Amino acid sequence: MYLVDTNIWLERMLNQEYAENVRLFLDQHSSDQLLITDFSFHSIGVVLCRLGHKEVFSLFVQDVLIDGAVSIVALDPDDMPFLIQVMDTFNLDFDDAYQYAVAKKYAATIVSLDRDFDRTERGRIIP
């Protein structure tokens, strides 16, 4: 399983520098092997709508979550002590610690452009 970080989805949707690499990664992996956190899902909505790309967000939801098989995963309230521990252990901010904790909970590999994950024992892969 792969936990796809917020920046990966946005890279593709906003056609940024690594958009083609992201496209290739997504084409090479079945969507039923991909996870997105609830935190990332909502963050993507905030960013795209703030940039005036509501239609892109709508297409993302349809393509990835409704028609695709990408699963939304989350932490429960009783997971928060572990999240705080992750923040302290690896010096991560809340959103990165959230991604890390979810990846650990679901035994997923983190896919991210964020170098902060390099400080952790799980690391990351880059598309």
Query: Which single residue is written with the structure tokens 């920046």?
Result: 7
How much is the pTM?
0.93
What is the spatial distance between Cα 55 and Cα 53, in angstroms, rounded to a whole number?
5
* pLDDT at position 45: 97
* pLDDT at position 61: 96
* pLDDT at position 122: 93
Question: Helix axis angle, 6-13 relative to 19-28, nearest 10°?
Answer: 110
* pLDDT at position 29: 95
What is the spatial distance between Cα 118 and Cα 67, in angstroms, rounded to a whole number?
33
- Block means of pLDDT (10 residues each) for the chain, length 127 residues? 97 94 95 96 97 96 93 97 97 97 98 96 93
User: Which residue ranges make up each domain of the chain?
Assistant: 2-119
Contact between 5 and 99 under an 8 Å Cβ cutoff? The reply is yes
* pLDDT at position 32: 93
Chain CA centroid to CA 119, Å: 17
Diameter of the chain measured on Cα atoms: 39
As beta bridge partners, residue 13 has none
The two structure tokens encoding residue 114: 């964020």
CATH number of 2-119: 3.40.50.1010
The conformation of residue 65, written as its DSSP 8-state character, comes to I
What is the spatial distance between Cα 107 and Cα 120, in angstroms, rounded to a whole number?
14
